[in-house]
Structure 1
Amino acid sequence: MNRIPLRRALGALGLAALTAASVTACGGGDSAAGDDFGLAQPGTITAAVTAGDYPFVSPDASGKPVGLLVDLNNLIADRMHLKIVYKTTTVQAGLPGLTSGQYDLMSVGLVASDERKKSVAFTKAIFWGQNVVVVPASSTAKSIPDLAGKRVGAGANSTQEDFAKKKMTTSQLVSEATDGAGVNQLLAGNLDAMVLGSTHVGQIFTEHPGKLKVALTSPQDQPGAEAVNKKLTKFLDAYNTELTALANDGTFLKLYQKYFPNLPYPTQMYQFWPSIQQQIEKQGKPTP
């Protein structure tokens, strides 16, 4: 899935606090139960997060990571009788840290591409989104050809960067450290467009009313999931078991609807979670 910009309300101090801090949530049982998972720190899940992944994970005013994946992973850690600690990094640095054993889990919505599967494993699917090309409100661009020769930004090592490299070959791709940084460059006139994930766009437009608009959208090829160190097969199996339980009992859908109140649950996800399809049908919710 996708990375999401910081809320406007956060100042530099809040971001610095998140970058420097590690936040721990305690599991409900004996942490020694997870010692045989092969985690970087026995009994503790070391989860990498980014500073611009709202509403999956982002810092609150104090710099503490909050969001859908924090709520979800706190629950899963508790059910697995493990502690969990969140450490802030970037996708670009986090994936190598995952393969080296510095982290156990990358708690970011990433598309489980074939290239990424060469170095990391993935949890069961958590989301299916779209790539959205955002331009200044004054722009006349409505298609990929309209952006030929233009400077188009995308988050480094993100699904959106993969999309731009594959589909926007006539544009000049600019790799940005975060979505927030790219949007700032777009607003400053240093970019002509920025590729974002569909879950990010509403927040971006709320933060910058009337300044940006959507030029075009394109469905992602695969669902998003969290990355896991490939060596942690037992941990991944146990994690997926608990994720499945939370999907089947309605907890995951409640979290989704809490953090995405205006975004219908993606019907592409029904193939992975038929129980959620049944829950949606009982609610009588509209589909995309």
Structure 2
Amino acid sequence: MNRHIMRRLVSGLAVAVAMATSATACGSGSDGDSGSGSSGTAKDYGLVRSGTITAAVTAGDYPFVAPDATGKPVGMLVDLNNMISKRMGLKIVYKTTTVQAGLPALTSGQYDMMSVGLVATPERRKSVAFTKPIFWGQNVIVVPAGSKAKALDDFTGKRVGAGANSSQADFAQKSLTKSRLVSEATDSAGVSQLLAGNLDGMVLGSTHVSKILKEHPGKLRTALTSPQDQPGAMAVNKKLTKFLADYNKELTVLADNGTFLKLYQKYFPDLPYPTQMYKFWPSIQKQVEAQGEKTS
């Protein structure tokens, strides 16, 4: 082969190798190294999918999260987590499941977190971690409009439903020991059974009650309410310690700058912000008090 041609080939090969080396050193690399955060790179948190939060949601947790007419998850926690994931330089995808199936799947590593309001009980903390508190609710027993029940003893021997693995189920097992407890897949399924006469009462979270009563005017009523023992939070895989720490930092920023309270008041316009939460979020207490001063 002509020496000049050979020299050109060798020179071209050297340039190509140099360009490839430069691209490897300066490029975005794997999915876990790319993102939209302020630093321009997403940290490798050990997520199910590098650079993406895989969040489990349920079909009946409105207004925290619920599917819209197209099946797309919407609600307060969707808005909140969309903001936080963006601030962390991560994407987020939502997978619909149930609390009963979602918690063990979270523990086994199929999800990174459950974007659902769950009471952070000591029993649950054995298998999952929790974000900082997001809500403090009440357990409400809803009954048919014609029912005379108004106390726990009135449900002795009665069939009372509660969502499987929910905080309402925990309440029912603890407080309705003389009742015949029925595990329901979702709140909606339990309400349907209540309307059909197959249940004497259904335990619901206070955030769901007003919507359900509006959907069935004159057919249901509240028998009694009881404050929950623990605040509500979102569950996270225990192995994701760095992810949880950074998530809580971003949640704190949104609480302190007023974003969290705005979201709460958007999705819970009829429920005052729970005063039990002030010990976790003193900045929100100041924001609520400031709003009261403006309206007084």
User: What SS is found at the alignment partner of 1:261?
Assistant: coil
Q: Percent identity at matched positions?
A: 76
Could you give the per-residue CA deviations for residues 160-198 of structure 1, whole angstroms, max 9, x where no partner exists? Answer: 000000000000000000000000000000000000000
* 1:55–1:67 CA contact under 8 A, matched in 2: yes
- What residue is the counterpart of 2:9 in the other structure? none
Question: Cα distance, 1:33 vs. partner?
Answer: 3.1
> Are 2:116 and 1:108 aligned?
yes
> Are 2:242 and 1:244 aligned?
no
* 1:56–1:67 CA contact under 8 A, matched in 2: yes
User: What SS is found at the alignment partner of 2:139?
Assistant: strand
> Are 2:167 and 1:154 aligned?
no
**More helix, by proportion:** 2
* 1:43–1:83 CA contact under 8 A, matched in 2: yes
* 1:32–1:42 CA contact under 8 A, matched in 2: no
> Are 2:276 and 1:284 aligned?
no
Give the count of matched residue pairs: 261
* 2:35–2:41 CA contact under 8 A, matched in 1: no
Structure 1 residue runs without a partner (length 5+): 1-25
- What residue is the counterpart of 1:122 in the other structure? 130
Q: Compared with structure 1, are the counterparts of its residues 170 and 31 closer, same or farther at alpha carbon in structure 2 (3 Å cutoff)?
A: farther
Please give the residue correspondences for 1:125-136 in structure 2 after superposition, counting only pairs within 5 Å.
125-136=133-144
- What residue is the counterpart of 1:273 in the other structure? 281
Q: Compared with structure 1, are the counterparts of its residues 152 and 285 closer, same or farther at alpha carbon in structure 2 (3 Å cutoff)?
A: farther
Letter in 2 for 1:88: T
Letter in 1 for 2:230: Q
User: What SS is found at the alignment partner of 2:44?
Assistant: helix
> d(CA) in 2 for partners of 1:246 and 1:107?
17
Please give the residue correspondences for 1:55-204 in structure 2 after superposition, counting only pairs within 5 Å.
55-204=63-212
Q: Compared with structure 1, are the counterparts of its residues 285 and 60 closer, same or farther at alpha carbon in structure 2 (3 Å cutoff)?
A: farther
TM-score, normalised to structure 1's length? 0.88
Runs of 4+ in structure 1 off by over 4 angstroms are none
User: Greater relative contact order (Cα 8 A, min sep 6): structure 1 or 2?
Assistant: 1
User: What SS is found at the alignment partner of 2:47?
Assistant: coil
> d(CA) in 1 for partners of 2:49 and 2:39?
11
> d(CA) in 1 for partners of 2:171 and 2:284?
28
- What residue is the counterpart of 1:206 in the other structure? 214
CA RMSD of aligned residues (A): 1.6
Which is higher, the Rg of structure 1 or of structure 2?
A: 2
Letter in 2 for 1:274: P
Question: Cα distance, 1:36 vs. partner?
Answer: 1.6
TM-score, normalised to structure 2's length? 0.86
> d(CA) in 1 for partners of 2:222 and 2:241?
41
Residue of 225, 228, 236 corresponding to 1:220: 228
Question: Cα distance, 1:28 vs. partner?
Answer: 3.4
User: What SS is found at the alignment partner of 1:276?
Assistant: helix
